Amino acid sequence: MPLLTPFSEKFMIQKLSSLEAKIGIKFKSSSLLQNAFIHRSYLNEHKDSKLPSNERLEFLGDSVLSLITSVYLFRNFPYLMEGDYTEIKSAIVKTDSLATSAKILELNEYLLLSKGETKSGGKTNRNILADCFEALIGAIFLDSSFEKAYQFVGQFLFKDRLNKLVKSKEYLSPKSRLQELIQAKYKTTPLYKVETETGPEHKRIFKIGVYFRGKKLGVGVAPSKKEAEEEAAKKAFENLRDL
């Protein structure tokens, strides 16, 4: 039974064979691979499609990616602490990182979108590309194995980038980086103070300053204390040369 239409199914299978060659994985189920590239907008214009959108595969791929990242960090960086694992994991699986890998693999070339979504730049949309990358992980996991998905992620997401991320400590939040820097040099920590708190109870806005030795290094304004502190720490790096 044709999954899209007789023509489009044949065309998609031929087109996706180039992707299989690129990633070194031959799918047993061509429909599973096709499914990874069907955006929900496409179905609005193709009601007769036998395949659903890639949202369920993306959900599965997100979970598989989370486990792959945890296993990879556990195997390759045994000297790091659990808190480091959490920070690194958040940094490497964020939308920008996934979208970059999707662009490198040119996954946008295989995406099926509605005409409207395509015209509005859907094939370069970071969220759509990131979701597609996760959907592909889910498809590889279902069609092959966890190990095959692990190898794919290691090659096309982690390679070079993760080691660099760990070495440079870029995975640390601005607040963590600022504290580590000051603590290492001065054996003390910066102090955060709420300067103002405005707005109604359900929509508060916090203005927080970060201080070191009585000097204000930066100010952050955000709807939560945590966000305001991170913003203040980020601004503080601009003034570190004056320490």
Distances (CA, A) of 165 to 129, 215, 230: 22, 31, 19
Whole-angstrom distance, CA of residue 71 vs CA of residue 153:
12
134 in active site: yes
Which of the residues 58, 87, 134, 230 is marked catalytic?
Answer: 134
Other CB atoms within 10 A of residue 115 CB = 12
Q: Which of 62, 84, 195, 227 is catalytic?
A: 62
Bridge partners of 241, per DSSP, are none
DSSP assignment of 104-159 = HTTGGGT-B--HHHHHTTGGG-HHHHHHHHHHHHHHHHHHT-HHHHHHHHIIIIIT
DSSP symbol at 53: -
Q: Is 62 a catalytic residue?
A: yes
Residues noted as catalytic: 62, 134
